[in-house]
Amino acid sequence: MTQPGSPTWMDLGTDDVEGAKAFYTALFGWDFLDQGPDFGGYLMIKQGDALVGAAMSSRMTPEGPVDEPQFPTSWTIYLRVEDIDAALAKVEPHGGSVMVPAMEVGDAGKMAVVTAADGAVVGLWQPKDFEGYDFTGQPGSPVWFETMSKDYDAAAAFYTEVFGWTITPMGQIPEGQPRYATNGEGSAASAGICEATTFLPDGVPSYWRMYLAVEDCDAAAAKVQELDGTLLDGPMDSPFGRLATVTDPQGGMFQVIKPSF
């Protein structure tokens, strides 16, 4: 059974939609499918026959397009909820704030965006006719999600109370090392919380990030740079595979990983 509050969707907000399309198509072979003016030019992303996520202009608001970007280029991760209104009612009492109130997305479902108790931006999705992305584990698809938190205890409490997470600390972490926990245990785990206080620079808030599978991490990192993206960290080996932290040319950050799982 899927853990409550599991990541179910992701979308990219960018001030250069055409540039993003060119970058991600060249890197992952993604296809971008425009949903038309009724959906504000929202672009569904497919990897072959599988849905990966979506992209949209950061100048688009629920009321229509505006002259200036409303936020920096970034990926938003959406967590599944059964009752979005009930979940939103818990956000402020547990230290968060509502950025985008619940809104209907046609017959697909309802969405909202909040800041968690540690300041990380995260979306909520209550499905109706649309569940979310297709998990395939194939190159170009998302295989893991985690929040990098500057207040681990506040984040753990927030996701437990608002989303119904089952916080499962990772064992065998040496004393003094950052804590890490997952939502659920073992193969049932759906996302993670990393205590990032000691290594996120001052001024960088807590945030969510995703891992996209690749066949060759080093080649993918090199390709990112060829396409005018930025290599921030890595490639490096980890217990879960070889990975790197990168951004697209507009600054949208993500991880690439050659999974070992």
Give the total number of structural domains in the chain.
Answer: 2
Whose tokens are 């890595």? That residue is: 234
Express each pLDDT in 26-77 by its tens digit: 999 999 998 877 777 789 999 999 999 999 987 776 667 776 777 789 999 9
Predicted local confidence at residue 81, as pLDDT: 97
**Quick one: average pLDDT of 177-198?**
91
Residue 132 forms part of a structural domain: no
Q: How many CA atoms lie within 13 A of 76 on its CB side?
A: 26
Decide which of 99, 127, 155 is a domain's last residue. 127
Structure confidence at residue 2 as a pLDDT band (50, 70, 90): low
Is the model's pLDDT at 256 over the cut of 90?
A: yes
Predicted local confidence at residue 77, as pLDDT: 98
**Judgement on whether residues 155 and 56 belong to the same structural domain of the protein:** no
**Judgement on whether residues 75 and 179 belong to the same structural domain of the protein:** no
Residue 255 forms part of a structural domain: yes
Decide which of 58, 93, 127 is a domain's last residue. 127
Distance CA 94, CA 159 (A): 9
- Which one has a higher pLDDT value, 117 or 68? 117
Angle in degrees, 0-180, between the axes of helices 17-28 and 217-226, rounded to the nearest 10: 150
Residue 247 forms part of a structural domain: yes
- Which one has a higher pLDDT value, 187 or 17? 17
Contact 130, 120 (CB under 8 A): no
Going by C-alpha positions, the residue among 72, 91, 74, 75 that lies closest to residue 5 is 91
**Judgement on whether residues 107 and 206 belong to the same structural domain of the protein:** no
Domain of residue 244, residue span: 142-259
Predicted local confidence at residue 66, as pLDDT: 74
Q: What is the mean pLDDT of the chain?
A: 92
Residue 136 forms part of a structural domain: no
Is the model's pLDDT at 1 over the cut of 50?
A: no
Is the model's pLDDT at 194 over the cut of 90?
A: yes
**Judgement on whether residues 120 and 204 belong to the same structural domain of the protein:** no
Residue 134 forms part of a structural domain: no
**Judgement on whether residues 119 and 11 belong to the same structural domain of the protein:** yes
Residue 244 forms part of a structural domain: yes
**Judgement on whether residues 70 and 146 belong to the same structural domain of the protein:** no
Express each pLDDT in 118-133 by its tens digit: 999 999 999 999 999 9
Predicted local confidence at residue 51, as pLDDT: 95
Structure confidence at residue 88 as a pLDDT band (50, 70, 90): very high
Going by C-alpha positions, the residue among 22, 13, 19, 67 that lies closest to residue 41 is 13
**Judgement on whether residues 185 and 230 belong to the same structural domain of the protein:** yes
**Judgement on whether residues 18 and 119 belong to the same structural domain of the protein:** yes
**Judgement on whether residues 228 and 170 belong to the same structural domain of the protein:** yes
Q: In what order do the strands lie in the sheet with 109-115?
A: 31-34, 43-47, 50-57, 7-14, 74-80, 121-127, 109-115, 97-105
Predicted local confidence at residue 247, as pLDDT: 97
**Judgement on whether residues 148 and 79 belong to the same structural domain of the protein:** no
**Quick one: average pLDDT of 77-82?**
97
Contact 181, 169 (CB under 8 A): yes
Contact 76, 122 (CB under 8 A): yes
**Judgement on whether residues 68 and 154 belong to the same structural domain of the protein:** no
CATH, residue 183: 3.10.180.10
Is the model's pLDDT at 142 over the cut of 80?
A: yes
Residue 81 forms part of a structural domain: yes
